[in-house]
Homo-oligomer: A and B are copies of this chain.
Amino acid sequence: MDHLATTLTQLFVILLAAKIGDEVFKRIGQPVLIGEILGGVVVGPAVLGIYQITPETELFAEIGVVLLLFQVGVETRIGDLLRVGGTAAAVGVLGVVLPLGAGLALGSALGYPIEVSVLLGAALTATSVGITARVLGELGALASHAGRVILGAAVIDDVLAMLILAFATGLAAGDVSTGQLATLVGLAAAFIGIVLVVGTRVLRSRPAILTVPEFAATPFLPGMILMLGLAALAAVIGLAAIIGAFLAGMVVGESSERHALEVEVAPVAAFFTPFFFGFIGAQVDLTALADPLTIALLAALTALAVATKFIGAFLGSIRLGRQRAALIGWGMIPRGEVGIVIAGLGLGAGAISGQLYSVVVGMAVLTTLLVPPLMGPLVRVAEPESSGQR
């Protein structure tokens, strides 16, 4: 079978499995996201072994989460996000400090070198914006007060996780310069600030390219170009590509043709996002779980991940009341792709072992599977006016 035939087969299998999982979970009334992930587990290396992780399938998964964040960005008003900025910052920072401390403490207790402990801490810090946004979207709660706090905080903790990662890889390479870190912090701040201020102004001035026929209907293709460009730029300066995609979405979402744009982005995102969730499932390595020590470590790490993120985020948002704070704390728990990416970088650099990689991936998947079933009841209690919108 030639290379193209193999790749097309992989893409077919993962999309089919994700949609079957989606249908099954819809019928039994469970979050379809979990069905899509389990579809990936079944066709992935863990069970059937038809779907393999290759640079091509990884690219499709990455574009899937990039499009998901772009779509969420389009549906997010910049003003709404800024209005909850203070709370989101508190949730983001507290939700990073506690898991990071816990990861460091666990790593030291297990006798890992300091750079491995920092990497473990970094893998515990970042909430998966993609997964949380999808769950909130399914519940129609993306625009609710708690939904906006979660979104803003998740972006903030992604940025912080990238900074910690830069620090950890610097440690692993044996050189950390505060100058480099300061540069990265400055770059991240400048990137986000410039994109939001300049991008929105340019768009509101309605440049000629947006009023040309075909482009005039909606800024769809310019939006997709901006999405790829900012995702690439974010990745180049050392941030997550999804942060660039989210910013691009917010910028084009300020366009007056927002609704028409949403209609065009929806099928592209619907086609791509299952590749992302299936990919998460395909990361699961069941053979690693044969070892009781590994299971114990996984249980400990997952318990730490859940407890520290919930407490940090709960404390950060307690002024919104206990019910909203509980919803926010719970919604911040899924680690998803960011933890997996950080662990993968550590594995690739030889800093962490295959066992520790499996444990971190297992933690990321478990925290992701844990959250959706409770989100519905929590939204109904904390944000009654927004539940049941979809």
A interface list, Cβ under 8 A from B: 1-5, 7-9, 11-12, 15-16, 19, 23, 26, 55-56, 59, 62, 66, 209, 212-215, 220-222, 224-225, 228-229, 231-232, 235-236, 241, 264-268, 270-271
Separation of A241 and B268 alpha carbons in the complex (Å): 21
Question: Cβ of A62: which chain B residues have Cβ within 8 Å of it?
Answer: 4, 8
Separation of A200 and B28 alpha carbons in the complex (Å): 30
Separation of A16 and B228 alpha carbons in the complex (Å): 9
Separation of A159 and B225 alpha carbons in the complex (Å): 35
Question: Cβ of A232: which chain B residues have Cβ within 8 Å of it?
Answer: 5, 8-9, 11-12
Are A228 and B15 CB-contacts (below 8 A) given A59-B56, A267-B220? Answer: yes
CB distance from A60 to the nearest CB of B (A): 8
Q: List 16 A-B contacts (CB under 8 A).
A: A3-B55, A4-B62, A4-B235, A8-B231, A8-B235, A15-B221, A15-B228, A16-B229, A19-B222, A23-B212, A55-B55, A56-B59, A59-B59, A220-B267, A264-B266, A265-B267
CB distance from A390 to the nearest CB of B (A): 10
Q: Is the CB of A5 within 8 A of B267?
A: no
Question: Cβ of A15: which chain B residues have Cβ within 8 Å of it?
Answer: 221, 224-225, 228
Question: Cβ of A5: which chain B residues have Cβ within 8 Å of it?
Answer: 232, 235-236, 241
Question: Cβ of A11: which chain B residues have Cβ within 8 Å of it?
Answer: 228, 232
Q: Is the CB of B265 within 8 A of A12?
A: no
Question: Cβ of A26: which chain B residues have Cβ within 8 Å of it?
Answer: 212-214
Q: Is the CB of B235 within 8 A of A271?
A: no
Question: Cβ of A215: which chain B residues have Cβ within 8 Å of it?
Answer: 23
Q: Is the CB of A236 within 8 A of B9?
A: yes
CB distance from A175 to the nearest CB of B (A): 18
Separation of A109 and B307 alpha carbons in the complex (Å): 78
Q: Is the CB of A2 within 8 A of B271?
A: no
Q: Is the CB of B229 within 8 A of A12?
A: yes
Separation of A62 and B267 alpha carbons in the complex (Å): 19
Question: Cβ of A8: which chain B residues have Cβ within 8 Å of it?
Answer: 62, 66, 228, 231-232, 235, 241
Q: Is the CB of B236 within 8 A of A19?
A: no
Q: Is the CB of B19 within 8 A of A225?
A: yes
CB distance from A232 to the nearest CB of B (A): 4
CB distance from A141 to the nearest CB of B (A): 19
Separation of A167 and B37 alpha carbons in the complex (Å): 43
Question: Cβ of A55: which chain B residues have Cβ within 8 Å of it?
Answer: 3, 55-56
Looking across the interface, which residue of chain B has its beta carbon closest to that of A3?
B55
